Structure 1
Amino acid sequence: MQRQVGHKEDRKLRARRRADRTIWFGLGMFGLIGWSVAIPTVLGIFIGLWIDENWPSRYSWTLMLLIVGVALGCANAWRWIHEESQPDRD
């Protein structure tokens, strides 16, 4: 019983510390995560197009670097979400 009460109190204290996180904070985080995926993806496409134009080969560097950019962007987004979902450490 005492452990449950302590756990609930910790949750309430964490919620009070995060009270400043409004809808605008959530929308800003949504935009940040979107850009963290979009920028590496677009950079991968442009670099791939440049490589394909200057050094033609039977492999599509654009497609390969698109996939690499999406993977890097998703890893970056996961890191942001993971950091924000961790409880505050004082």
Structure 2
Amino acid sequence: MSGEPPHPEERLAEAVRQRAARRREAKRLPSFARNFGQIGILGWQIVVPALVGLALGRWLDHRLASGIFWTAPLLVVGTGLGCWSAWKWVQRQ
């Protein structure tokens, strides 16, 4: 019986088992692309709130003619919120 070719169902079942094993292994080992993507997400999570704070501060300073009275604090607040958001995201990962 060892000389008989395997049935198509047996070959399909073996292929499915091998693919499932490869997927489990891929999920277990982090890839360079995944790590690089996570770094990019962290960067945007910090930069976007900082830019929003900067834009809001510049707009307020322009409307109120107050120099950089609002720009600097809102930039710091935006950066702080971005860092807090990134920290929370890392904790969930």
TM-score, normalising length: structure 1: 0.69
CA deviation after TM superposition for structure 1 residue 60, in Å: 1.0
CA deviation after TM superposition for structure 1 residue 58, in Å: 7.1
The answer for unaligned runs of 5 or more in structure 2 is 1-23
The range that moved more, 32-41 or 18-27, is 18-27
> Which of 61, 83, 90 lines up with 1:52 in the alignment?
61
The root-mean-square deviation of aligned C-alpha atoms, in Å, is 2.2
Between the aligned partners of 2:40 and 2:71, the Cα distance in structure 1 is 25
The answer for unaligned runs of 5 or more in structure 1 is 1-14, 85-90
CA deviation after TM superposition for structure 1 residue 17, in Å: 7.7
State the percentage of identical aligned residues: 31
> Which of 22, 41, 50 lines up with 2:50 in the alignment?
41
Between the aligned partners of 1:58 and 1:49, the Cα distance in structure 2 is 9
CA contact (8 A) 2:46 2:85 kept: yes
Which amino acid is the alignment partner of residue 23 of structure 1? F
TM-score, normalising length: structure 2: 0.67
| Residue in structure 2 matched with residue 88 of structure 1 by the alignment | none
Matched, 1:27 2:41: no
| Greater Rg by CA | 2
Between the aligned partners of 1:17 and 1:79, the Cα distance in structure 2 is 25
Whose relative contact order is higher, 1 or 2, with alpha carbons under 8 Å and at least 6 apart? 1
Aligned residues: 70
